[in-house]
Chain A
């Protein structure tokens, strides 16, 4: 009997080991373990218009890896698709506030540090960020701030703060982003409240403010409002700095301003997905994008800020890091956790008003 139990136990152990080994050499949970050999393919899922035209091609040429590159328009879109499971992607680029949700949904795999040597190029401001202090899961990609893009030729004086959206003079010529976090966040900052406020009373005030502003708005539009700014249909728009920079290339009269009452700063980072089928190639890509020359071209193409310090010197239009004074006015978005429903309801009420 003992013998049988031992045999069974041995079999069981053998099966467990075999099963463990046969699991796709997808990123193992232990980041200290080495990965397998370099794969021949890689699948990347990134925001649209968020890379330089030759970045992927350059990587393919150097490594011989064939890359599938797909895009999304919002964090939620990416999250929803990944949550559905087995997407086949290796890398994605969530914003910082999505990370707790992604981790809780078991979507991320820890990075194997031994394959990523280039982190030294990242500016101290973006090292050990609050959303990933041990730098276990993320490699910063671009950073940006939310502010106000405006037409110098049509609006003589620069908007000074978020209160511009209450100004009746520009009624019908302004837009805010189609994003509850951004709209309510701006209204909260206008009242001196934190960006991620979960308090019902201040949310109610922010909501009332947003409804007041809505009467002056042409539409709720996010990045696509670029075209309207260029065409002159919209004169003042809540927008991200990179998109404003891209629009300014087509219409030099477009300027960007960080509102005096503060705003959001956000970092988008590359993450390794739990079921990544090509982890080794993924790490090679992460190492590749940490190179200053690559990072410089990316930032020039997107118009956003590069967290890669040496890259700034090589850029044609570098976005300078926020000064300490500006940094004091900026806050990161955080996951709202239990307050999500409160915020969502507020946004629904604003939209229904």
Chain B
């Protein structure tokens, strides 16, 4: 019932990305093996998609009278946490981008 958490994956990719030694410098193009922010976002969204699909399946099974309510609640809570984390990261990144765009040139 425990699935590798989407949020944990997002954190891990973000940590890799923001690691000053390899993340941002390499994302600029020097040695291109580390993921870009777009790739990391895609990965995080994909894994959240999977988590939420599991939660949806549990909810449907409960509506059909098959699933245990405890499983539904834990699956939905896991999805909620993952989405909440990703949305916060996205908001933070967008606000940083806006901050940069506001810079007078």
A binds B: no
